[in-house]
Amino acid sequence: MIKQFIAQDFCLKCLGCCRFREPDSCWSPRFLKEEAGELASRNLLNKEQASSDKVPLRLGSEVDKNFLCLFLNPSSNRCQIYSSRPFECQLYPFLINRKGEKIILSVDLNCPFVKERRSTLEFREYAAYLSELLNSPHYQKLLLDNPQIVQKYDGVLELSQLGIIL
């Protein structure tokens, strides 16, 4: 499990995550190759859902017209599979961003926690930790095996180039 930058109680009060404006948004998480199968083996995904690399979404309520992750409980704002949520969810608001041939660790500035703290030492130290982690042999292999989680995100803050070519 990746060390987290954002305190959980802050996330629980924010209605930004796990909701997407479009069903095929690049912001909705992709599963690593083994993740969907693991959730299906616990009957948390059906066969059809497990055959996709995208976390399944459902339409929100009349009030919340977004597409919500199937695993989000909108009443409590909690992820129902938090301890085994996908790698991309553990990483967010940090993202693996493709820019031409370069793969860049980036962060979503729409996250209010990041917006407040992006100039702090705490933020710089966390970004350095994540960069070192993602450049380790284990995570380099994970990225090579799972190019579906490397996407082109617009309007993000670029932090550091990762030493990998996909």
Neighbours of 51 (CB within 10 A): 11
- Least gap, CB of 101 to ligand SF4 (angstroms): 29
d(CA 96, CA 47): 28
> Which of residues 79 and 159 has its CB atom nearest to ligand SF4 in the complex?
79
Contact 62, 39 (CB under 8 A): no
d(CA 165, CA 130): 18
- Least gap, CB of 100 to ligand SF4 (angstroms): 28
> Which of residues 30 and 126 has its CB atom nearest to ligand SF4 in the complex?
30
Contact 79, 18 (CB under 8 A): yes
Structure-token match 């409980």, residue found: 73
- Least gap, CB of 81 to ligand SF4 (angstroms): 6
> Which of residues 21 and 124 has its CB atom nearest to ligand SF4 in the complex?
21
- Least gap, CB of 16 to ligand SF4 (angstroms): 11
The footprint of ligand SF4 (CB under 6 A) covers 17-18, 29, 55, 69, 71-72, 79, 81, 85-86, 89
d(CA 55, CA 83): 16
> Which of residues 15 and 128 has its CB atom nearest to ligand SF4 in the complex?
15
Contact 152, 98 (CB under 8 A): yes
> Which of residues 26 and 128 has its CB atom nearest to ligand SF4 in the complex?
26
Give residue 61's identity as a one-letter amino acid code.
S
- Least gap, CB of 29 to ligand SF4 (angstroms): 5
